[in-house]
């Protein structure tokens, strides 16, 4: 897919994106969480059921909440959803305090599109949204065994909490990565400056 990345667009999601988002969710979970979550749970993931849930929440347009999709070229469909990110005001703040915190709730990208800067672009989109709604800091929870923890560290996220939770029929550890102030995330996801053509 190298070379095709210049054709990737990142935009706010609409209810009509629910099917594409659900397909990415199911595909990424089956790969990324194999060996972490129970195999039976992953096998039972239903894109149709997931799509219904996403359609409901995208139609509700809960204040402050946003979903962004990355859309990329596809040999069969022309274009398809290749990743998405969602977030809003923290569902459960990481710290007590007056400053509003933002939470990145989900971030998923198809395997074929990894390591081409699309994850960073999605994080940029949600960081800009969270800053725009007044969040002074942002955090994300990730399963501690998930390689995405390296991605969040690479984007200057600071390990701020660890906890054990019951999830999908398993007991797992999750880690929270924090950007405080939120400008730390905006800086780490800033688009690279265009290279001048020498000549």
Ligand X SMILES: CC(C)(COP(=O)(O)OP(=O)(O)OC[C@H]1O[C@@H](n2cnc3c(N)ncnc32)[C@H](O)[C@@H]1OP(=O)(O)O)[C@@H](O)C(=O)NCCC(=O)NCCS
Residues that bind ligand X (CB under 6 A): 28, 32, 107-109, 114-120, 142, 146-148, 150-151, 154
Q: Which residue's beta carbon is nearest to the bound ligand X?
A: 119
To ligand X, the closest distance from the beta carbon of 61 in angstroms equals: 23
To ligand X, the closest distance from the beta carbon of 124 in angstroms equals: 9
Angle, alpha carbons 119-181-28 (nearest 5°): 20
To ligand X, the closest distance from the beta carbon of 83 in angstroms equals: 6
Closer Cβ to ligand X, 36 or 133, answer by number: 36
To ligand X, the closest distance from the beta carbon of 161 in angstroms equals: 14
Two tokens, residue 93: 């703040």
Work out the angle between the directed axes of helices 47-60 and 18-32 (0-180°, nearest 10): 130
Burial of 144 (0-12, 13-18, 19+ CB in 10 A): middle
Q: Which residues contact 125 (CB under 8 A, 6 or more apart)?
A: 10, 68, 85
Closer Cβ to ligand X, 96 or 171, answer by number: 171
């Amino acid at each position: 897919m190298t070379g095709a990345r210049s054709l990737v667009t990142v935009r706010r999601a609409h209810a009509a994106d629910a099917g594409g988002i659900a397909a990415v969710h199911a595909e990424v979970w089956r790969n990324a969480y194999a060996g972490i979550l129970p195999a039976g749970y992953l096998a039972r993931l239903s894109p149709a059921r997931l799509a219904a849930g996403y359609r409901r929440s995208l139609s509700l347009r809960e204040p402050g909440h946003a979903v962004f999709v990355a859309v990329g070229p596809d040999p069969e469909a022309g274009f398809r959803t290749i990743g998405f990110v969602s977030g809003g005001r923290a569902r459960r703040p990481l710290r007590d305090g007056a400053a509003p915190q933002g939470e990145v709730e989900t971030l998923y990208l198809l395997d074929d599109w990894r390591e081409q800067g699309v994850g960073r672009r999605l994080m940029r989109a949600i960081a800009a949204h969270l800053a725009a709604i007044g969040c002074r800091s942002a955090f994300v929870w990730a399963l501690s065994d998930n390689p995405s923890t390296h991605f969040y560290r690479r984007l200057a996220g600071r390990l701020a909490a660890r906890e054990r939770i019951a999830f999908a029929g398993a007991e797992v550890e999750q880690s929270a990565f924090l950007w405080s102030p939120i400008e730390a995330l905006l800086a780490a996801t800033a688009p690279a400056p265009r290279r001048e053509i020498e000549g």
